């Protein structure tokens, strides 16, 4: 594990108020009592079960006898993870996110996944599981195949605590007593439409998803044992099954977690340990539905412990029960679905186009920089995938998605007007379209033969450019170890 990650986890242990048996705990670090928002006082540390060691000073670490994973010049320093704050709570606690990847902080043509814990302050098990997960992945990279697969093929982001204020007070809401999982814009009712009235924790999540295109996500809760999927509510507020356009994909996604869990799938209350939110516990203004509608992100709500605030001694067994579920859910982004990039046939540049699947009313947007897209789909089915981009001709192809991922790149041709000029698209800069149109009109009216010769020459050049683009595209592979990339 890297030095930086140890520092982050020690922050969660010694600075941010920890879970206790009798309420918010007493800060052990003499400087932590002055940290913004600290209000707790108790005597029992929940996260002390992790036994996170103290760090050696950096200036002496190269010569002291500390362990390899704490060494200042460790192999994993600056390699596996990156910690950032996406905002602050009402009382000023930073919302720290740990990114785990072989190239943290860099944009790659890989899917991104996020786990968020402690949305409700009195449901702290998820917070603890994510801290342990960060430890486990860094400790087992290049040792465990699943850990290696995740680190090298997915950008994993962990937010152990979305609600540190509520956690320190041991209550459901934040410092303003607002339920953060009712504070997002809702698709059915005009609640939370006023941006100024949203809580800072909510705004932090929404701004975070503007910066990063997450493919998958899950929030960890307590009080039940089930994997919940959209929709969380219905248009008439009735308790009934109300599925979203990607209902099959979400049921498959929820089943991955449930069937990887020690006993979730054997639930007597929920068939196979999964449930549609509206059919079980309707809510409005939730984060799960907002992710799918506004951020292009497939999010589950995971209830990982029947007991909201269990004894600290139960953490090892809770980790044992949930470990494979947490890992397999992230790995599913690399093990299924269709992934690829969208290019221009003219010069091979990436295009921020859109990808849809025929019969499913949902659109995934490709990245602006790399033109990469990642579409989660249930396996063992046939899909028609369509790529579009303003100013370009759309393309479609049919794929069969079995038990592995499909890598599919699209090379789009520019739209051409009746007069033969390439139509300008909104992605391009000002390319002098007016002067180009006047030039074409001049050739069309007075020099038709010259115009014909130029068309032949341009057609030949376009052929060469397309060959060059295809050579460039063919070298791109979406996922390490995936099938050969298909190009259309």
Contact, 190 vs 292, CB < 8 A?
A: no
**3-class secondary structure for 158-193?**
EECCCCHHHHHHCCCCCCCCCCHHHCCCCCCCCCCC
Selecting among 195, 303, 384, 437, the annotated active-site residue is 303
331/77 Cα distance (integer angstroms): 24
Tokens (6 digits) for 256: 């991955």
Q: What is the DSSP string of 65-96?
A: ---GGG-TT-TTTTTSEEEEEEEE-TTS-EEE
Helix 145-153 to helix 125-140 angle, to the nearest 10 degrees?
100
CB 312 within 8 A of CB 51: no
Among candidates 311, 410, 304, 301, which has minimal Cα distance to 354? 410
Euclidean distance between CA atoms 9 and 55, whole angstroms: 11
**Among residues 101, 304, 300, 122, which one has the least CA distance to residue 212?**
101
| 415 in catalytic set | no
Tokens of 92: 């000023």
Q: 302: phi > 0 → left, psi -120 to 50 → alpha, else beta; which?
A: beta
Q: How far apart are CA 247 and CA 270, in angstroms?
A: 17
* Cβ–Cβ under 8 Å, residues 164 and 28: no
Environment class of 359 (CB within 10 Å of its CB; exposed 0-12, middle 13-18, buried 19+) = exposed
Q: Are strands 298-305 and 216-221 parallel, antiparallel or unpaired?
A: parallel
C-alpha–C-alpha distance, residues 137 and 149, integer Å: 10
Do the beta carbons of residue 69 and residue 1 sit within 8 Å?
yes
> For residues 10 and 67, what is the distance between their CA atoms, to the nearest angstrom?
16
* Tokens standing for residue 137: 């992945």
Q: Between β-strands 298-305 and 224-229, what pairing exists: parallel, antiparallel or unpaired? A: antiparallel
Task: Give the torsion sign (CA, 270, 276, 282, 286).
Answer: positive
In total, the chain counts a number of residues equal to: 488
Catalytically active residues are 303
């Amino acid at each position: 594990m890297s030095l930086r990650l140890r520092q982050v986890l020690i922050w969660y242990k010694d600075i941010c108020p920890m879970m206790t048996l009798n309420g918010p705990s007493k800060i052990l670090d003499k400087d932590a009592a002055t940290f913004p928002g600290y209000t707790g006082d108790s005597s029992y540390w929940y996260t002390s079960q992790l036994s996170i060691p103290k760090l050696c000073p950096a200036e002496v670490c190269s010569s002291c006898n500390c362990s390899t994973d704490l060494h200042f010049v460790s192999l994993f320093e600056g390699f596996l993870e990156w910690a950032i704050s996406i905002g602050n709570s009402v009382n000023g606690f930073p919302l720290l996110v740990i990114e785990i990847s072989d190239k943290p902080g860099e944009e790659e043509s890989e899917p991104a996944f996020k786990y968020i814990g402690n949305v409700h302050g009195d449901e702290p098990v998820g917070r603890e599981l994510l801290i342990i997960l960060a430890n486990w992945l860094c400790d087992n990279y290049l040792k465990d195949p699943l850990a290696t697969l995740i680190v090298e093929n997915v950008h994993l982001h962990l937010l152990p605590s979305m609600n540190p204020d509520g956690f320190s007070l041991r209550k459901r809401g934040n410092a303003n007593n607002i339920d953060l999982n009712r504070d997002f814009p809702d698709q059915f009712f005009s609640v939370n439409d006023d941006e100024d009235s949203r809580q800072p924790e909510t705004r932090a999540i929404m701004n975070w998803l503007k910066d990063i295109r997450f493919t998958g996500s899950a929030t960890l809760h307590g009080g039940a044992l089930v994997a919940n999927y959209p929709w969380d509510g219905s248009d008439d507020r009735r308790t009934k099954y109300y599925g979203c356009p990607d209902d099959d994909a979400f049921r498959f996604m929820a089943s991955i977690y449930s069937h990887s869990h020690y006993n979730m799938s054997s639930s007597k209350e929920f068939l196979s340990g999964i449930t549609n939110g509206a059919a079980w516990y309707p809510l409005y203004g939730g984060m799960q539905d907002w992710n799918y509608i506004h951020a292009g992100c497939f999010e589950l709500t995971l209830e990982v412990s029947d007991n909201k605030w269990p004894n600290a001694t139960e953490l090892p067994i809770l980790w044992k029960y949930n470990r494979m579920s947490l890992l397999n859910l992230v790995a599913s982004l690399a093990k299924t679905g269709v992934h690829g990039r969208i290019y221009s046939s003219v010069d091979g540049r990436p295009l921020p186009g859109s990808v849809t699947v025929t019969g499913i009313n949902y659109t995934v947007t490709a990245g602006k920089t790399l033109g990469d897209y990642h579409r989660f789909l249930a396996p063992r089915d046939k899909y028609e995938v369509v790529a579009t981009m303003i100013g370009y001709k759309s393309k479609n192809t049919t794929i069969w998605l079995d038990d592995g991922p499909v890598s599919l790149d699209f090379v789009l041709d520019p739209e051409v007007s009746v007069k033969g000029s390439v139509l300008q698209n909104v992605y391009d800069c000002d390319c002098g379209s007016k002067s180009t149109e006047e030039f074409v009109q001049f050739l069309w009216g007075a020099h038709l033969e010259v115009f014909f010769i130029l068309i032949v020459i341009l057609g030949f050049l376009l052929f060469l450019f397309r060959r060059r683009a295809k050579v460039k595209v063919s070298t791109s592979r979406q996922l390490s170890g995936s099938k050969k990339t298909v190009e259309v």
